[in-house]
Amino acid sequence: MTVAVPPAGRKPRLPRTPSAARLAPARRPDAAALTAALLGWYDRHRRVLPWRAPAGVRADPYAVWLSEIMLQQTTVKAVVPYFRTFTAAFPTVRDLAAAELDSVLRLWAGLGYYARARNLHACARAVAERHGGVFPGTVDALRALPGIGDYTANAIAAIAFDVPVVPIDGNVERVLTRLHALEEELPGGKPRLRALADALEPAGRAGDFAQALMDLGATICTPKSPACVLCPWSEPCAARRRGDPEGFPRKAPKKEGTLRRGAAFVAVRGDGAVLVRSRPEKGLLGGMTEVPTTAWSADFSPQNALDHAPGLDAVAPGWRRLPGVVTHVFTHFPLELFVFVAAVPAGVDAPAGTRWVAQGDIAGEAFPNVMRKVLAHAGIDPKPAPPDPSPRISKPKRSPR
DNA sequence: AACGCGTGGTC
DNA sequence: TGACCAAGCGT
């Protein structure tokens, strides 16, 4: 279905009479009216978040950038404690640039998508070196920095610099495809979505407008059971009028990955030290810490697992397989790990490419969650990955239905 | 362009 | 309870 998008700044003609209104074909909603309704709603219901400035105050670009990177494919609830930890450890982008990559990875551990942490560090250094420690205020300059794609460049430009652009994330995607009942499947329909976003009018409040769209998507226009009765755009929403808001956005089904298996080896010394190694910089869980494992493959069998773990038979005389398996689901494949444990005599050297981590340092290692599960399965408490999910943030809960 | 890349919450 | 999803990016 082809949808004509009116040029920004011009309103579609309104029908003259009520009867004409009823008979008229669906019209593009009036951009100025949409803006007024959305910003009015935002002024009453905006969420209070650690990286947001008070109403009427422009937010700190560093805080906006840091939060936007953390929020990529990640929930607000998960991000808040990490955001507090990072701003405490690195008050400015220069502090972050001066830090070792390894300390950044350690603080990031548990948040997922670890390439973000490496790009975060690289971006901080680029800002420090290329821009004198000050974030640039244009979409193009932001877009050129590591870890900043189309969405994030537009979000930072709008929120931190009030550049009149509309960032499109999952929330905005949902809100706009519903508002227009866009039939075209995503991601193919993204260019049309871009046109719909560009037809909106932030009216001099680009930052508020962008965050209003996201708050609307996060609290009202939710994927399941949207609260249309509370929505400022309820009246013009084509999907609601059609009685099927949940049906948007239209998406092509995605295929699932096949199960992989492997073995993980937990070698524990008498003093509590554990044998670990670092994963390669690139790829799955890049740069993170792990206990030695076999390769993970669809045809793995635990029978001769040690044959596929060179050097480990020399570390300890008796490897014992624990009952059960550790399961973990990555975005693109599920994983089952068989866990082997061994008590290692004092004085045994770590094989090439591995190292001993003292008992007290285990919590500080950059273990991804799958490895924390393995350690827990072996009876070792890896300590909570995320910082304390301490002070509550405002939660605009609505009554259950 | 399609895929690789984590984790936690929700129903 | 497994499937789906959440403020995407890099290749």
Domain assignment of residue A309, given as a range: 260-377
A326, A373 contact by CB (below 8 A): yes
Residue A254 covered by a domain: no
With distances taken from each CA to the C1' atom of nucleotide B11, the closest residue turns out to be A224
pLDDT tens, residue by residue, A282-292? 778 877 889 99
Asked if strand B comes closer than 7 Å to A78 Cβ, the answer is: yes
Nucleotide nearest to A188 (CA to C1'): B1
Strand, coil or helix: A60: coil
Residue A77 covered by a domain: yes
Reported as a pLDDT band with limits 50, 70 and 90, residue A385 is very low
Of A225, A247, A269, at which residue does a domain stop?
A247
Same domain, A294 and A212: no
Same domain, A231 and A153: yes
Residue A13 covered by a domain: no
pLDDT value, residue A383: 67
Residue A89 covered by a domain: yes
The residue-averaged pLDDT of A363-374 equals: 85
The residue-averaged pLDDT of A191-199 equals: 94
pLDDT of A110 strictly over 90: yes
Residue A223 CA and nucleotide C4 C1' are separated, in Å, by 10
Same domain, A314 and A178: no
**Known active-site residue A68:** yes
Residue A333 CA and nucleotide C9 C1' are separated, in Å, by 19
pLDDT tens, residue by residue, A236-279? 999 999 999 998 998 876 555 677 888 999 999 999 999 999 88
Choose the weakest-confidence range: A3-12, A46-55, A167-176, A367-376.
A3-12
Checking DSSP bridges between strand A355-357 and strand A274-278, what pairing results, if any? antiparallel
Look at residues A344, A285, A357 and name the one whose alpha carbon lies nearest to residue A312: A344
Same domain, A94 and A223: yes
Reported as a pLDDT band with limits 50, 70 and 90, residue A26 is low
Of A217, A247, A277, at which residue does a domain stop?
A247
* CATH at A289: 3.90.79.10
Residue A386 covered by a domain: no
With distances taken from each CA to the C1' atom of nucleotide B5, the closest residue turns out to be A113
pLDDT of A12 strictly over 60: no
Asked if strand C comes closer than 7 Å to A152 Cβ, the answer is: yes
Indicate the residue type of A352.
A
Q: What positions of strand C are covered by protein, i.e. any atom < 7 Å from a CB? A: 3-10
pLDDT of A232 strictly over 90: yes
Q: What positions of strand B are covered by protein, i.e. any atom < 7 Å from a CB? A: 2-11
Choose the weakest-confidence range: A22-36, A53-67, A131-145, A311-325.
A22-36
The residue-averaged pLDDT of A105-120 equals: 96
Total tally of structural domains belonging to chain A: 2
DSSP conformation letters of A252-270: ---PPPPPEEEEEEEEEET
Of A247, A273, A298, at which residue does a domain stop?
A247
Residue A389 covered by a domain: no
pLDDT value, residue A265: 94
A344, A316 contact by CB (below 8 A): yes
Nucleotide nearest to A223 (CA to C1'): C5
Nucleotide nearest to A187 (CA to C1'): B1
Same domain, A108 and A36: yes
Residue A27 CA and nucleotide C9 C1' are separated, in Å, by 36
* CATH at A150: 1.10.340.30
Residue A92 CA and nucleotide B8 C1' are separated, in Å, by 29
pLDDT value, residue A228: 93
pLDDT of A11 strictly over 70: no
**Radius of gyration for chain A, computed over Cα atoms and rounded to the nearest angstrom:** 26
Same domain, A236 and A110: yes
Same domain, A270 and A227: no
Give dist(CA A104, CA A66) in Å, integer: 12
The residue-averaged pLDDT of A140-156 equals: 97
With distances taken from each CA to the C1' atom of nucleotide B10, the closest residue turns out to be A224
The residue-averaged pLDDT of A81-103 equals: 97
Angle at A372 between CA A369 and CA A376, to 5 degrees: 140
Same domain, A60 and A121: yes
pLDDT of A384 strictly over 80: no
pLDDT value, residue A341: 94
φ, ψ of residue A86 to 5 degrees: the values are -70, -45
Asked if strand C comes closer than 7 Å to A369 Cβ, the answer is: no
* Residues paired with A338 in a beta bridge: A263
pLDDT of A20 strictly over 60: no
Asked if strand B comes closer than 7 Å to A114 Cβ, the answer is: yes
Angle at A388 between CA A215 and CA A90, to 5 degrees: 80
Same domain, A81 and A156: yes
Look at residues A360, A377, A315 and name the one whose alpha carbon lies nearest to residue A342: A315
Residue A336 covered by a domain: yes
pLDDT tens, residue by residue, A73-89? 999 999 999 999 999 99
Same domain, A54 and A195: yes
Asked if strand B comes closer than 7 Å to A368 Cβ, the answer is: yes
Asked if strand B comes closer than 7 Å to A75 Cβ, the answer is: yes
Asked if strand B comes closer than 7 Å to A285 Cβ, the answer is: yes
pLDDT value, residue A115: 95
Rounded to 10 deg, the angle between the A101-108 and A76-89 helix axes is 150
Question: Average pLDDT of chain A?
Answer: 85
Same domain, A186 and A312: no
Reported as a pLDDT band with limits 50, 70 and 90, residue A364 is confident
Reported as a pLDDT band with limits 50, 70 and 90, residue A17 is very low
Share above pLDDT 90 across residues of chain A, in percent, rounded to a whole number = 60
Residue A14 CA and nucleotide C9 C1' are separated, in Å, by 42
Asked if strand C comes closer than 7 Å to A155 Cβ, the answer is: yes
Residue A400 covered by a domain: no
pLDDT value, residue A326: 85
Catalytic option among A68, A184, A201, A290: A68
Asked if strand B comes closer than 7 Å to A187 Cβ, the answer is: yes
Q: Is the dihedral of CA A60, A62, A65, A68 positive or negative?
A: negative
Same domain, A183 and A328: no
Share above pLDDT 70 across residues of chain A, in percent, rounded to a whole number = 87
pLDDT of A21 strictly over 60: no
